[in-house]
Structure 1
Amino acid sequence: MTAVQHIPAQPTEFSFGPGTTALVVIDMQRDFLLPGGFGESLGNDVAQLRKVIEPLAHLMAAARAAGLPVIHTREGHLPDLSDCPPAKLLRGSPSQRIGDPGKYGRLLVRGEYGHGIIDELTPLPGEVVIDKPGKGAFYATELAQVLAQKSIASLLVTGVTTEVCVHTTVREANDRGYECLVVSDCVGSYFAEFQRVGLEMIAAQGGIFGWVTDSPAVIDALAAAPPITRAPAHTPV
């Protein structure tokens, strides 16, 4: 059985078994983080999200060194947009919509350059990449099966944006029985107030959706962890 490790966090210490924990990296895609992508078409300052890149790169390196699975997600749609309902396609007043031609190809369309993960955080060979049509990483994807196959019970959650895809994924994971630690400097929002409140909401009411801490605390705990021994498969609710 994997030894339990502890990380200082809010609202309380986060306890996890390294052998039953995965790092989830949500939607660190060119369309969200580069000028001229979908995020900027919504009127957002992509520089706010780019603050996440450096600390997340360090955390990914620490997770890989510790033997944790690193699982990446990409939000995007089939070229015919058949998996993009009008409620999503027509939402808001962006200068460009999903599927429109953009600087990096059609916006949020699978296979386009903009749909890909930024170069600084490129997945390594063998790392799982989940393509998702929605905001949550569990909806219409194979993520639950991947986590069960890897005996995962706890998630270190990172990526963008804090109040949308990160929040939705953490709520979905919580409902399925996973313990989630959101890494505060490795998640980002286009809006400073949303970042602050989004993190507070996760840890509120005794950790109603999960825990929150920063990447140095996680990296220290991973470095101190003994070699990983995989546990029997976790069965989500």
Structure 2
Amino acid sequence: MTQTALIVIDVQESFRVRPNWQAVNHPDIADRVDRLVRASRARGDLVVWVLHTEPGTGGAFDPVNGHVRLMDGLQPIEGEPVITKTSHNAFTTTNLQQLLTQYGVREVVISGIRTEQCCETTTRVASDLGYDVVFVSEATATTPLPHWTMPADASLEQVMADPRTLSPDVIVERTEYVLAGRFATIRTLDEVAGLAVAS
């Protein structure tokens, strides 16, 4: 029975069609995740693919627009579950917990988009459900976070010009601070993906 599962969260084309993708901290997120995927497969770990969907919204996450698909270069192999969610975390609106139980998973490795939102929220829920969680910040991506008073239709230029906007580096640092030792162990991409190379 598999003991560890890599959970790939929302590494989908939906994000690349949004203007703020120009300011993402890891434009090579698909390559980073692919390293983890290849290492996980080499170890015989389960890989679970999660896609975010917002049906009926007409936006980048509405399946009718064709962007709710894995980024180019990422491809599940036979037997790897692909689940869709409608909440921030990967558990609430899916059968993820049942899948992990079925495969005997005790540890989950978190990667994906966005660091402080779907990745962090999934980490917290997984921890509360009793899983050991490894959070690979370098295999997550995010974009600048505007102050909550900024209008939703503000341009990227306006967001970047606002001194209250949090940069991706700050977001990652804060996320690591709140997760480490409470909800997850923070590990580097080399630490997690490098294990398969050595074996």
TM-score range, shorter chain: 0.7 to 0.9
- 2:69 is aligned to 116
Cα pair 1:21 1:156 within 8 Å, conserved: yes
What is the alpha-carbon distance in structure 2 between the residues aligned to residue 49 and residue 55 of structure 1? 9
Q: Match for residue 191 of structure 2?
A: 217
**Structure 1: segments with no counterpart, 5+ residues:** 3-18, 82-98, 101-105, 226-237
2: CA distance between counterparts of 1:70 and 1:111?
A: 26
Aligned to 1:22: 5
Aligned residues of 1:48 and 1:188 also touching (Cα < 8 A): yes
Under a length normalisation based on structure 2, what TM-score does the superposition of the two structures give? 0.80
- Name the residue aligned to 1:89: none
Residue 34 (structure 2) pairs with residue 57 (structure 1): yes
Identity of aligned residues (%): 27
Match of residue 198 from structure 1: 175
**Change in 2 beyond 3 A, CA 1:46/1:132:** farther
Q: Alpha-carbon deviations, 1:1-27, whole Å to 9, x = none? A: x8xxxxxxxxxxxxxxxx300000000
Alignment match, 2:147: none
- State the Cα distance separating 1:154 from its structure 2 match: 0.3
Structure 2 runs not aligned, ≥5 long: 144-167
Contact 1:157–1:166, Cα closer than 8 Å, also in 2: yes
CA distance in 2, matches of 1:172, 1:118: 25
Partner of 1:151: 104
The question of 1:177 aligning with 2:177 is answered no
Deviates more, 1:194-203 or 1:177-186: 194-203
Q: Once the two structures are superposed, what CA deviation does each residue of 1:110-154 show, in whole Å capped at 9, x if it has no partner?
A: 354211111111222321111000110001111011001010010
CA contact (8 A) 1:31 1:108 kept: yes
- Structure 2 CA distance, aligned partners of 1:44 and 1:118? 13
Distance in 2, matches of 1:164 and 1:114, equals: 19
Distance 1:51 1:196 in 2: 19
Greater CA deviation, 181-190 or 212-221? 212-221
In structure 2, what is the Cα distance between the partners aligned to 1:44 and 1:63?
27
Supply the RMSD in Å over aligned alpha carbons: 1.9
Contact persistence 2:30–2:71 (CA under 8 A)? no
Q: Which has the larger radius of gyration?
A: 1
Q: Quote the offset at 1:46 in angstroms.
A: 5.0
Contact 1:66 1:223 in 2 (8 A): no
Query: What does 1:35-114 correspond to in 2, within 5 Å?
Result: 37=17, 39-40=18-19, 43-45=20-22, 47-78=24-55, 81=56, 99-100=57-58, 106-110=59-63, 112-114=65-67
Q: 1:53: how far off?
A: 2.4
Among 127, 130, 136, the residue aligned to 2:80: 127
Distance 1:46 1:121 in 2: 22
Task: Tell me how far apart the structure 2 counterparts of residues 112 and 148 of structure 1 sit (CA, whole Å).
Answer: 33
SS in 2 for 1:181: strand
Give 1:177 shift: 0.3
Instruction: Specify the code of the residue in structure 2 equivalent to 1:23.
Output: L
How many residues align? The count is 175
Match of 2:150 in 1: none
